[in-house]
A and B are shown apart, each in its own frame.
Chain A
Amino acid sequence: MISPVKIWRRQKDIRKILGKKGKIFLWTKIFTPGTGFKKYAPYPVVLVELENNEKVYGQLVDQEQKDLKIGTKVISVLRKVRTASVDGVIAYGIKFKPLK
């Protein structure tokens, strides 16, 4: 179970980055995940450079294969970021979606 305190602390920062636009700076696609991410595999992870030059990591969702490259325009969205244990607190966080 992930510490509920850690989730709570983290969520304050998440709010500040929601709904922000940026471009993919680095990317990969994970095929062998660690515990907590198995259900999402394989999944792309990107490092996005936001319009204010801040860099944020997140999975890329609702994407087509062609979106996975440096430079693709994206926007940050709220999603579940890892599989919660059945009795644990749900971790919500930032992921990115290609901007159409």
Chain B
Amino acid sequence: MIGIVSYGFYVPKYRIKTDEIATVWGKNPEDVKKSLLIEEKAVAGIDEDSLTMAFESSSSALSDVQIDKNKIKVVLFGSETHPYAVNPASTILAEFLGIEKNYLAYDTEFACKAATGAIISAQALIKSGYSDYALITGSDKGMGKTHDVLEYTAASGSVSLLLGKDDLILEILDFESFSSDTPDFWRREGIRYPSHGGRFTGKPSYFYHIEESSKSLFKKTGLKPEDFAYGVFHMPNGKFPVQVAKSLGFSPAQIKDSLTVNYLGNSYTASALMGLMAVLEKAKAGDLIFLCSYGSGAGSDSFVLRVTKNLTKRKKEFIKVIKNKKYIDYPTYLKFMEMI
């Protein structure tokens, strides 16, 4: 059985409130909050990027297991804000972590599902016997153009998972992936900010792919939404995950703990995984968790995960840690995002 051995997350200290951004652009903050269901989002400092955050979340993931780092022969770095267009952040990360050199590394991109796609590839590498462990990171310092809806939602964060075959805290029981060519959200080479198709990002994109990926996995496994203790979906805003969960047949109670977007924003490749972090703080042995990511362009990876009794020895505090925060104003936000 392949699964997750340990996990780590990193959310930067700084937050900007939706109120603060809306006021700058002369919008009614209450209207924006009602439409996006985001109160505030996490912002990385000026000297942080996807790599530095990945280091934090990976160090955390590796801190509570005693393993020979040489057995980590797969290191995959998923992001849409890679430090370089050409140069692997995965090896920079591995080097700083002390993972030495007989390993396979590559950086992945599939918008917000770059990391979950990597999970699928990595578990196969473990299953085939190539490696005992794989380190997967989803890490982003999400960018959005000013005076655009993404400005309220695009956030910073990182989640790392150490995959393995022994001493698991979460078993990957099954998974599916659904892909198509759907240009709902993209960023061209050399262009700083992503662009999107407005309402096109909804029904034909987010909803279509998540629903198809999920239904496909339900069919394959014979499981139904009520079999799960928790459902975790990709969170581009506070509304979409609630709506798609409902349409698939999940109850509000099943997904409410996963909605980190309300207070952290959408950290792109770390978004769905951050929801998983929040849920793991509460999950108990035997719980089934349904995890479904979405990447624009477009595709969706869905997973059936089962919590083992080992979770209790490696469970991490989430809510308390997230509360260590400091609010910044709009000019500081622009400075941190190097937009000015």
Residues of chain A touching chain B, judged by Cβ–Cβ distance below 8 Å, are: 11, 14-15, 18-19, 39-40, 59, 61-62, 77-81, 90, 92, 95, 100
Contact A39 B51 (CB under 8 A): no
B213 proximity list for chain A (CB < 8 A): none
Q: Which of B48, B59, B324, B338 has the most CB of A within 10 A?
A: B48
Closest-CB distance, B70 to chain A (whole angstroms)? 15
Contact A15 B52 (CB under 8 A): no
Interface residues of B in 50-77 (CB under 8 A from A): 51-52, 55-56, 59
Q: Which of A19, A61, A79, A81 has the most CB of B within 10 A?
A: A79
B335 proximity list for chain A (CB < 8 A): 39
Contact B47 A40 (CB under 8 A): yes
Contact A79 B13 (CB under 8 A): no
**B52, B324, B338: the one within 8 Å of A92 (CB):** B52
In the complex, whether B95 has a CB less than 8 A from a CB of chain A is yes
Q: Compute how far the CA of A25 lies from the CA of B105 in the bound complex, rounded to whole angstroms.
A: 39
In the complex, whether B144 has a CB less than 8 A from a CB of chain A is no
> Provided the pairs A15-B96, A92-B96 are in contact, do residues A78 and B45 lie with their beta carbons within 8 angstroms?
no
In the complex, whether B301 has a CB less than 8 A from a CB of chain A is no
In the complex, whether B98 has a CB less than 8 A from a CB of chain A is yes
Minimum CB distance partner of A16 in chain B: B98
> Provided the pairs A61-B45, A92-B92 are in contact, do residues A39 and B59 lie with their beta carbons within 8 angstroms?
no
In the complex, whether B49 has a CB less than 8 A from a CB of chain A is yes
B46 proximity list for chain A (CB < 8 A): 39-40
30 contacts between A and B (CB under 8 A): A11-B95, A14-B96, A15-B95, A18-B55, A18-B59, A18-B96, A19-B59, A40-B46, A61-B47, A62-B13, A62-B45, A62-B326, A77-B52, A78-B52, A78-B56, A79-B45, A79-B47, A79-B48, A79-B52, A80-B48, A80-B49, A80-B52, A81-B47, A90-B49, A90-B83, A90-B84, A92-B51, A92-B52, A92-B96, A95-B47
Q: Compute how far the CA of A14 lies from the CA of B47 in the bound complex, rounded to whole angstroms.
A: 16
A59 proximity list for chain B (CB < 8 A): 47
Residues of chain B touching chain A, judged by Cβ–Cβ distance below 8 Å, are: 13, 45-49, 51-52, 55-56, 59, 83-84, 92, 95-96, 98, 324, 326, 335, 338
Closest-CB distance, A56 to chain B (whole angstroms)? 16
Q: Compute how far the CA of A18 lies from the CA of B49 in the bound complex, rounded to whole angstroms.
A: 17
Q: Compute how far the CA of A62 lies from the CA of B45 in the bound complex, rounded to whole angstroms.
A: 8
Minimum CB distance partner of B63 in chain A: A19
A92-B92, A95-B47 given; 17 more Cβ-contact pairs under 8 Å: A11-B95, A11-B96, A14-B96, A15-B98, A18-B59, A18-B96, A19-B59, A61-B45, A62-B45, A78-B51, A78-B56, A79-B52, A80-B52, A81-B47, A90-B51, A90-B83, A92-B96
Closest-CB distance, B45 to chain A (whole angstroms)? 6
B49 proximity list for chain A (CB < 8 A): 80, 90
A79 proximity list for chain B (CB < 8 A): 45, 47-48, 52
Q: Compute how far the CA of A18 lies from the CA of B326 in the bound complex, rounded to whole angstroms.
A: 24
Q: Compute how far the CA of A43 lies from the CA of B313 in the bound complex, rounded to whole angstroms.
A: 39
B48 proximity list for chain A (CB < 8 A): 79-80
B84 proximity list for chain A (CB < 8 A): 90
B59 proximity list for chain A (CB < 8 A): 18-19
Closest-CB distance, B94 to chain A (whole angstroms)? 11
Minimum CB distance partner of A18 in chain B: B96
**B51, B56, B324, B326: the one within 8 Å of A77 (CB):** B56
A61 proximity list for chain B (CB < 8 A): 45, 47
Q: Compute how far the CA of A40 lies from the CA of B336 in the bound complex, rounded to whole angstroms.
A: 9
Contact B55 A78 (CB under 8 A): yes
Closest-CB distance, B268 to chain A (whole angstroms)? 19
Closest-CB distance, A13 to chain B (whole angstroms)? 12
Closest-CB distance, A94 to chain B (whole angstroms)? 11
Q: Compute how far the CA of A89 lies from the CA of B257 in the bound complex, rounded to whole angstroms.
A: 40
Closest-CB distance, A38 to chain B (whole angstroms)? 11
